[in-house]
Chains A and B, each alone.
Chain A
Amino acid sequence: MSTASVPLPNWISYGVLPLLNLAVAFFISGLVVWSIGENPFEALKLLIEGALGRGEAIGFTLFYTTSFIFTGLSVAVAFHAGLFNIGSEGQAYVGGLGAALVALALDHYVPWYVTMPFAVIGAALFGAGWAFIPAWLQAKRGSHVVITTIMFNFIAAGLMVYLLVNVFIVPGKMAPETRTFLPGGQLPKLDWLMALFGMKLGPAPFNVSFIIALVMSYLVWLLIWRSKLGYEMRTLGISPSAAAYAGIPYSRTVIIAMLISGGLAGMMALNPVMGASARLQVEFVAGAGFVGIAVSLMGRSHPLGIIFSALLFGILYQGGADLSFEMPNITREMIVVIQGLVILFAGALEYMFRPAMVRIYQQFAGQKSGGK
């Protein structure tokens, strides 16, 4: 019997193996740092200090974390239905348009807490709308959602640049961005939350979106593990043929899963657009959609895991930015390398250590029960 079909206890499958993969990814990242002539341990120390050293740093870390929770959830929901949504990036970008339209329309008239629910709905609707065509093509035409979502990322980029340069630009200004939202179109910072822990937020844009992200994590958990739709999605993801035999409608489940996924990606836009810059800017997503892939993979598509891995990537992003000031030899792109290595080892090579682990486990389990 091959080692692939030997069952392993959960603490190995969900604990030891992912940690081992992560350790290898970080070990190789350390080798890269070492090879360009810097001390990897010193770099790690600076990175952690830069991300968690003081209130402002933590605020930035949690700001990035918020974005990554949204995109991580987006990728995870699609993943449960057996779909690979690479389009979170584009869906978040278009979602920003939905959030910005609501903010621009309401900020003169109402306070932020009235604007917020509409902005959440607007962002989610626009994000879901952008996921609809790829979803429909997958469900009805059988064209691979990976290919179409990649295409739609680029189409979104073209569309948004066009809209910002030609439609939303403030007359007489050079920067392709909307006007600044009034406080009624902004999501306030969470100074009070930081103050509870005796820390000062400073200029860090840690805002109410974080709470929305946590609520969404809980809702996603309910959806996937406590609802009929979630059960159908998981069945489809594990075995499309079993789902078909059970009478689970393929097209409907695929389209709904992608719409939810796109909606969650769209909501990510609330954080940078309404929580930080208070305007819609070109390329505000800045790769968060792709980070969502790594976050979802590392978090094993579970909301709790996603929150923790989003925090890890938040630390990497904020700490990495700080590190590139302290060690100019290490550019910000080092984060991208680490991200790639994490995706490679935690995702594509997730089973690399499994056969060895099975042999070790069998040896120990065998000794305990007196040999087989």
Chain B
Amino acid sequence: MDYFDIFVSILGSTIRLSIPLIFTALAGLFSERAGIFDIGLEGKMLAAAFAAACLAYVSGNAWIGLLGGIGISIVFSLIHGFASITNRGNQIVSGVALNFIAAGLTVVLAQAWFNQGGRTPSLAGEARFLPIILPGVDVMRDVPIIGPLYANVISGNNILTYLAFAAVPLSWWVLYRTRFGLRLRAVGENPAAVDTAGISVIWLRYRALVVTGFLGGFAGAYLSIAQSAAFINNMSAGKGYIALAALVFAKWKPVPVMFACLLFGFLDAVGNFMQGKPVPGIGEVPVQAFQVMPYVLTCVLLAGFIGIAHPPKAGGVPYVKER
């Protein structure tokens, strides 16, 4: 039974660690399927985390914090769009720049406004998204197997967790079952064809980036006002890049994105759990092995050993109308 308890606790932290990845990878999905590479996911997450923590602190309301996170994330997305769509700049360069700006500006402003060494003040009560206890937990808890799973994995998460899992089928539906989604995918593969059909490539790509910003805002808010109770310097800690890896690993498809994020979250959770504990027969596995696993897996995938990942054809190329 001990092993089962461990399993349940690892599963619980897998969920918690996967949520920012799921939001961010879905955010990247929309821009990359529209033909805009987005290295700036990390920066969006960080900026949104900071804005959410600030607004939640000032207003005392987590929802206003979330709105702030979404707002700033959309602003970052639109700057990316201005550089890479309107000015036809290099999308990678623009993403790198926005990551720097987010990493620096959040600390500079946090220090200037709150004077706590680059943190924002701690949030309490209504200013955070608190765990929701689903009905029937007390009754279910004693049921073997299902009980602990229900009580510790399915119940006891905050609202953003459930929204993340709702966002996956919703993203699938938008991408594959709506006119907007069809055009979005088309503009990522062959923008000239979309243009010929009389649809504005620029307007379509901007709308895709707004969706990216919208989802990125949830990821940031999750970090600072749901999982933690404040913004901390560089709290995204490379999660934006892991989400990017997950997006590639899932071959730019929404449902596999969720599973890739869960896998990477699981690796993270196992790594945390295994720290300092020897594995029978192997000895102690260094925690770094678990930390680099998502990146190694993604490179192995890219090498073509686990199927082939085809990125959107027009990705990274600015669209020039007259040619």
Contacts and interface: CB of A to CB of B under 8 A. Distances in A.
A254 to B, nearest CB: 15
Given A2-B322, A348-B97, A334 B302 contact: no
A166 B82 CA distance: 47
Interface string A126-147: 0000000100010001011011
A155 B94 contact: no
Contact of A336 (B39, B104, B109, B245): B104
A283 interface: no
Interface in A319-356: 329-331, 333-341, 343-344, 347-352
A228 B94 CA distance: 32
Contact of B303 (A137, A146, A166): A137
A357 to B, nearest CB: 13
Interface stretch (A113-121, A157-165, A273-281): A157-165
Given A144-B311, A290-B100, A334-B108, A154 B302 contact: no
A344 B94 contact: yes
B298 interface: yes
A331 B244 contact: no
Given A141-B304, A348-B90, A351-B89, A333 B108 contact: yes
A32 B102 CA distance: 13
A148 interface: yes
B309 A143 contact: yes
B196 interface: no
B178 interface: no
A250 interface: no
Interface residues of B, number: 52
A216 to B, nearest CB: 23
Contacts of B100: 290, 336-337, 339-340, 343
A347 B82 CA distance: 13
B305 to A, nearest CB: 10
A151 interface: yes
A304 B263 CA distance: 47
Contact of B108 (A36, A159, A343, A347): A36
A154 B241 CA distance: 9
Interface in B234-287: 238, 241, 244-245, 248, 286
Contact of A350 (B89, B118, B245): B89
B112 interface: yes
A152 interface: yes
A245 B163 CA distance: 52
A86 interface: yes
Contact of A343 (B96, B109, B289): B96
A84 interface: yes
B291 interface: yes
Interface string B291-323: 110011011001110000101000000001010
A204 interface: no
A37 interface: yes
B106 to A, nearest CB: 8
Contact of B87 (A150, A159, A352): A352
A339 B101 CA distance: 8
B59 to A, nearest CB: 21
B292 A154 contact: yes
Given A150-B39, A158-B288, A337 B97 contact: no
Contact of A148 (B102, B105, B299, B320): B299
B301 to A, nearest CB: 9
Interface in B185-210: none
A3 B175 CA distance: 36
A349 B89 contact: yes
A293 interface: yes
B103 interface: yes
A343 B97 contact: yes
Contacts of B98: 340, 344
B295 A155 contact: yes
A140 to B, nearest CB: 9
A152 B97 CA distance: 20
A329 B286 contact: no
Contacts of B212: none
B103 A336 contact: yes
A247 B118 CA distance: 55
Interface string A306-328: 00000000000000000000000
B122 interface: no
B92 A158 contact: no
A297 interface: yes
26 contacts: A137-B299, A147-B298, A148-B299, A150-B241, A151-B245, A151-B299, A152-B295, A152-B299, A154-B241, A162-B286, A290-B96, A329-B112, A331-B118, A333-B105, A333-B111, A339-B100, A339-B104, A340-B99, A340-B100, A343-B93, A344-B79, A344-B98, A347-B90, A348-B84, A348-B87, A348-B97
Top 3 A-B pairs, shortest CB-CB distance: A340-B100, A336-B104, A348-B94
Interface of A: 2, 4, 32, 36-37, 84, 86, 133, 137, 141, 143-144, 146-148, 150-152, 154-155, 157-159, 161-162, 166, 290, 293, 297, 329-331, 333-341, 343-344, 347-352
Interface of B: 37, 39, 79, 82-84, 87-94, 96-105, 107-109, 111-113, 118, 238, 241, 244-245, 248, 286, 288-289, 291-292, 295-296, 298-299, 302-304, 309, 311, 320, 322
Given A146-B39, A350-B89, 19 more contacts: A36-B109, A133-B299, A148-B299, A151-B295, A154-B238, A293-B96, A331-B111, A333-B107, A333-B108, A333-B111, A336-B107, A340-B100, A343-B93, A344-B98, A344-B101, A348-B89, A348-B90, A348-B97, A352-B87
